[in-house]
């Protein structure tokens, strides 16, 4: 990895330089929450944000996504090939994208997702946890790859990790903005990380978790929470690793239709419904449990399907807490 330093006064020129790569999307405060939107000026950015409602997956798997346009009986691909910059992505969300990559870039790759991934320039940014974060216990609190540049906050600027060839190119072409990293900077970097590690309030015990959950299939805890759950599907919409979609064809003119996919949620009763009325997950309990199984599925090569971002907790209207449910299921079994 290459490390360089970006001083505080060069931050704005650096941001301007990134515009070469395309539109820049970054975290902006909207009322009491944050969202990734197009940003023209560094002043609009909220770099100390906690989490956005929708994770950056919305740029790769769009809430509504047009795939094909039907013209004269033939489908034409709808391509969106513009390069763009995602500025200020937290480590957990970078891990979230890596989990999506496993699915969408796996054979056969999804061409829409793939081109957006290739067109994106990702600038990570260090963060401080709030009461919902538990990424540290999942090992997703630090990104080793999956970004082009990663900015770590220093008292007088940023320590920048260069994570890709594209990242190198940007640093190379804007050499005048960067300096060598000093011993002092490294000391500050280390201090920041230590302070951050101590700031986590929530943690998930993942020891044997996958097996314990499987054994607890009939646990009363699932039932208790399924009764509390409103089945609204918020937790799946905001999750950086949830990616179920539904497909619809819509006629827009007499001779023109579009095929569109949009977010679906395993909390919807139709998710497992097939023709003839058979439903493979008929009850709220089946659906509630399924989500926890899906998020806690453990892939030896990729880890869990949850990155501990805390979104599902923050945005659950029934105040159901992910870690709490899992801990109770564990306690109920042991």
Ligand X SMILES: Cc1cc2nc3c(=O)[nH]c(=O)nc-3n(C[C@H](O)[C@H](O)[C@H](O)COP(=O)(O)OP(=O)(O)OC[C@H]3O[C@@H](n4cnc5c(N)ncnc54)[C@H](O)[C@@H]3O)c2cc1C
Binding site for ligand X (CB under 6 A): 274-275
Whether the Cβ atoms of residue 148 and residue 121 lie closer than 8 Å to each other: yes
Question: Binding ligand SF4 by CB under 6 A: which of 7, 320, 324, 333?
Answer: 320
Residues 6+ apart with CB under 8 A from 27: 34, 35, 36, 45, 46, 47, 49, 52, 87, 88
CA 241, 86, 170 angle in degrees (round to 5)?
130
Shortest distance, position 316 Cβ to ligand SF4, whole Å: 3
Whether the Cβ atoms of residue 240 and residue 92 lie closer than 8 Å to each other: yes
Which does residue 192 touch among other proteins, ligand SF4, ligand X, none (CB within 5 to 8 A, set by kind)?
none
Whether the Cβ atoms of residue 315 and residue 246 lie closer than 8 Å to each other: no
Which does residue 234 touch among ligand SF4, other proteins, ligand X, none (CB within 5 to 8 A, set by kind)?
ligand SF4
Which does residue 229 touch among other proteins, ligand SF4, ligand X, none (CB within 5 to 8 A, set by kind)?
ligand SF4
Nearer to ligand SF4, 39 or 86 (CB): 86
Shortest distance, position 331 Cβ to ligand SF4, whole Å: 19
Whether the Cβ atoms of residue 326 and residue 204 lie closer than 8 Å to each other: yes
Span 176-195, contacts to ligand SF4 by CB under 6 A: none
Span 203-242, contacts to ligand SF4 by CB under 6 A: 229-235, 238-241
Shortest distance, position 109 Cβ to ligand X, whole Å: 22
Nearer to ligand X, 225 or 263 (CB): 263
Residues that bind other proteins (CB under 8 A): 67-68, 70, 73-75, 77, 103-104, 106, 108-111, 209-211, 213-214, 217, 243-249, 251, 257, 261, 264, 266, 271-276, 278, 280, 292-294, 296-298
* Phi, psi (deg, nearest 5) at residue 22: 135, -170
Nearer to other proteins, 62 or 243 (CB): 243
94 binds ligand SF4 (CB under 6 A): no
- 67 to each of 64, 76, 108, 240, 250, how far by Cα in Å? 10, 8, 16, 21, 12
How far, in Å, CA of 165 to CA of 170, rounded? 9
Closest CA to 158 of 139, 140, 177, 130: 177
- 78 to each of 58, 62, 82, 170, 177, how far by Cα in Å? 17, 13, 13, 30, 38
Shortest distance, position 256 Cβ to other proteins, whole Å: 9
Nearer to ligand X, 165 or 274 (CB): 274
Span 239-298, contacts to ligand SF4 by CB under 6 A: 239-241, 267, 295
Buried b (16+ CB within 10 A) or exposed e, 275-292: eeeeeebeebbbbbbbbb
How far, in Å, CA of 4 to CA of 180, rounded? 5
84-89 and 23-30 beta bridge pairing: parallel
Nearer to other proteins, 73 or 183 (CB): 73
Nearer to ligand X, 254 or 275 (CB): 275
Shortest distance, position 2 Cβ to ligand SF4, whole Å: 30
Provide the 3-class DSSP secondary structure of residue 74: strand
User: Which residues face 160 on adjacent strands?
Assistant: 4, 151
Which does residue 73 touch among ligand SF4, other proteins, ligand X, none (CB within 5 to 8 A, set by kind)?
other proteins
Question: Binding ligand SF4 by CB under 6 A: which of 322, 328, 329, 330?
Answer: 322
Nearer to ligand X, 270 or 283 (CB): 270
In the complex, the residues that contact ligand SF4 under the rule CB under 6 A are 229-235, 238-241, 267, 295, 306-312, 316-318, 320, 322
């Amino acid at each position: 990895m290459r490390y360089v330093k970006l001083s505080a006064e060069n931050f704005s020129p650096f941001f301007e330089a990134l515009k070469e790569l395309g539109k820049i999307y970054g975290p902006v405060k909207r009322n009491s929450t944050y969202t990734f939107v197009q940003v023209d000026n560094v002043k609009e950015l909220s770099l100390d944000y906690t989490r956005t409602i929708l994770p950056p997956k919305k740029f790769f798997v769009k809430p509504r996504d047009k795939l094909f346009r039907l013209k004269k009986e033939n489908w034409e691909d709808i391509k969106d090939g513009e390069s763009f910059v995602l500025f200020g992505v937290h480590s957990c969300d970078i891990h979230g994208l890596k989990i999506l990559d496993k699915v969408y870039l796996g054979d056969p790759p999804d061409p829409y997702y793939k081109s957006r991934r290739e067109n994106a320039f990702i600038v990570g940014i260090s963060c401080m946890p709030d009461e919902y974060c538990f990424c540290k216990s999942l090992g997703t609190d630090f990104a080793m790859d999956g970004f082009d540049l990663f900015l770590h906050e220093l008292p007088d600027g940023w320590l920048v990790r260069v994570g890709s060839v594209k990242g190198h190119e940007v640093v190379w072409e804007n050499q005048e903005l960067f300096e060598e990293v000093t011993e002092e900077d490294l000391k500050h970097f280390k201090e920041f990380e230590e302070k951050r590690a101590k700031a986590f309030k929530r943690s998930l015990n993942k020891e044997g978790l996958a097996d314990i959950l499987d054994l607890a299939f009939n646990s009363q805890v699932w039932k208790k929470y399924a009764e509390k759950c409103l089945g609204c599907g918020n937790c799946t919409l905001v999750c950086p690793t949830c990616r179920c979609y539904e497909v619809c064809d819509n006629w827009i003119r007499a001779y023109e239709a579009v095929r569109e996919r949009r977010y679906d949620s395993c909390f919807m009763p139709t998710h497992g419904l097939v023709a003839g009325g058979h439903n493979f997950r008929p009850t709220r309990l089946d659906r509630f449990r399924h989500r926890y199984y899906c998020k806690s599925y453990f892939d030896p090569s990729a880890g869990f399907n949850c990155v501990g971002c805390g979104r599902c907790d923050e945005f659950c209207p029934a105040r159901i807490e992910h870690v709490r449910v899992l801990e109770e299921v564990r306690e109920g079994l042991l």
